[in-house]
Amino acid sequence: MIVNNLSEIINNDFYVIIIGSGPAGISTALELEKNNIKSLILEAGGKETDSDSSLFLKGEVVGGEYPDLSSTRLRQFGGTSGHWGGNCNPMIKEDLVSWPISLSDLDEYSSQAMKILNLREDFFNEKFSKNLNLYNLVWSNVRFGEKYFQHIQKSKYIFLSLNTTFLNFNGQDKKINSITCFKNNNFYQLKSKFYILCCGGIENSRLMLWSKEKNKSLFNDNLPIGKYYMNHPAYSIGEGVMVHEKYVSYFSKNTIKNKPLITCKNEIYFSANKEFLTKNNILNSGIYLNFKVAWKYNSIFKQLRCVAPKYFKNIYENLKAQKVYEINIETMQEQKPDKDNYINLSSDFDPLNTPLSKIFWKRSLSEIKSARLIAEELGKIFVDEDIGRIALNKHLYNDSEEYGYSAGNHQLGGTRIGSYENDSVVDKNLKVHNIENLFVNGSSVFRTGGHCHPTYTIVKLSLRLANYLKNYRI
């Protein structure tokens, strides 16, 4: 049901108020609805984004090269899924080692999450060589705003108020009593039993920090709100060539038969296994290969003729017969949770007088080492099996080299999950430590980020949270 006038529902008895209507907020409301539980979603944006959005989303980043904060998030119904890439893959067991929940706690919700995201293909993660695994990415065509608007419009259990900006939490004695929000030029105080903050990887920290600033006794002082902010740096690390038949035959020798990926029609990606990461003391990196049929006059063949003339001679006939593929190599990297990477409040304000975000974020040399070692490992297989040749960019060997290394589009950490309040913000059920009725959901709760795309995991966390709430009593 769409709520146009907040005064009409101010006395309604909502079990939950969900703040934010991205994948996290909507997935939670859908699951509560299945259990006939009423929720109210407050969304700052409208059905579409508008030009004022950037005044709320902009901010400052100190440290490494970082995309414009206002371009990486969307303030509209459906949240950032309005322009996401739709790539999905699950985190693996090793990614969650330091979390207070295990992979099986999330896997319980895999098939439901796949339905929400319209995922029709299975995920796989298989051994490719002694040190590398091969994964697939499954693509979701879901824009949450488009898929779920009509459903919510007709729902008896989900109430949605658009153009409603949450400002801060009000409360005392370890409890949130109400929230303040702004709609149609009016301020409102809304109440419910539970509150879930689902405003995205950066906003969750910004809004909690601002509530704390306004009411210093609301949260315990030692909660590390905004701390351990992470990203998935993503950038190009090299290029290469490959003879298709040899690549397929290598796949067939290994266990990876009958997978559509060996046709080279898709992007595929590799990452290192646990033994390789431990031996080299590195974080993980996804190494993505994008294929296209090679054109024989391309510059990569001129280079190959100089640096590997024998190999070039070997593949020349294949090249003429268009059996050679050109490869672009990209990486998406795991970042270490670091206390010095954090979200804070800026001294500049948005139009409703909430301070904007100021993020301190820098890259680390261990990330570059991780991409280099994993890509070199792939290069060795290419040479040993005569599949092809890859060339890695100079910056992987010389940190002072100029290159386009930037943060990616995934924002992780800031309200991280954990068992202890001096080192985490939410507990294993996503409840803020020491506050009995406030929950936070989204990639801000990620304690470590792995190198996988986050949204599939966010949807599973949302389903788990809704199931927890239906039985939770205060």
Ligand X SMILES: Cc1cc2nc3c(=O)[nH]c(=O)nc-3n(C[C@H](O)[C@H](O)[C@H](O)COP(=O)(O)OP(=O)(O)OC[C@H]3O[C@@H](n4cnc5c(N)ncnc54)[C@H](O)[C@@H]3O)c2cc1C
Residues contributing to the site for ligand X (CB under 6 A): 19-25, 42-45, 72-73, 75-76, 79-81, 83-88, 165-166, 198-200, 203, 207, 409-410, 442-443, 453-455, 458
- Nearest approach, Cβ of residue 27 and ligand X (Å): 8
Distances (CA, A) of 259 to 24, 125, 154, 251, 310: 31, 11, 41, 9, 32
How far is residue 401's CA from residue 177's CA, in Å, rounded to a whole number?
Answer: 54
- Nearest approach, Cβ of residue 181 and ligand X (Å): 7
Q: Of 437 and 443, which CB lies nearer to ligand X in the complex structure? A: 443
Q: Of 88 and 113, which CB lies nearer to ligand X in the complex structure? A: 88
Distances (CA, A) of 470 to 39, 176, 300, 464: 12, 19, 58, 10
Q: Of 52 and 126, which CB lies nearer to ligand X in the complex structure? A: 52
- Nearest approach, Cβ of residue 77 and ligand X (Å): 7
- Nearest approach, Cβ of residue 260 and ligand X (Å): 19
Q: Of 282 and 417, which CB lies nearer to ligand X in the complex structure? A: 417
- Nearest approach, Cβ of residue 316 and ligand X (Å): 38
Q: Of 395 and 410, which CB lies nearer to ligand X in the complex structure? A: 410
- Nearest approach, Cβ of residue 59 and ligand X (Å): 12
Q: Of 204 and 393, which CB lies nearer to ligand X in the complex structure? A: 204
- Nearest approach, Cβ of residue 41 and ligand X (Å): 9
- Nearest approach, Cβ of residue 182 and ligand X (Å): 9
Cβ 194 vs Cβ 16: under 8 Å: yes
- Nearest approach, Cβ of residue 217 and ligand X (Å): 22
Q: Of 86 and 100, which CB lies nearer to ligand X in the complex structure? A: 86
- Nearest approach, Cβ of residue 443 and ligand X (Å): 5
Q: Of 50 and 376, which CB lies nearer to ligand X in the complex structure? A: 50
Residue 94 class from Cβ within 10 Å (0-12 exposed, 13-18 middle, 19+ buried)?
middle
Cβ 289 vs Cβ 381: under 8 Å: no
Q: Of 20 and 233, which CB lies nearer to ligand X in the complex structure? A: 20
Exposure of 396 in the CB half-sphere (CA atoms within 13 A): 18
Strand order in the sheet with 355-361: 59-63, 355-361, 342-349
Q: Of 37 and 74, which CB lies nearer to ligand X in the complex structure? A: 74
How far is residue 270's CA from residue 379's CA, in Å, rounded to a whole number?
Answer: 12
- Nearest approach, Cβ of residue 25 and ligand X (Å): 6
Backbone angles phi, psi at 121, to 5 degrees: -105, 150
Question: 208 is written with which tokens?
Answer: 């909690």
Q: Of 28 and 393, which CB lies nearer to ligand X in the complex structure? A: 28
Q: Of 163 and 429, which CB lies nearer to ligand X in the complex structure? A: 163
Distances (CA, A) of 34 to 112, 117, 133: 12, 17, 38
- Nearest approach, Cβ of residue 431 and ligand X (Å): 17
Residue facing ligand X at closest CB distance? 22
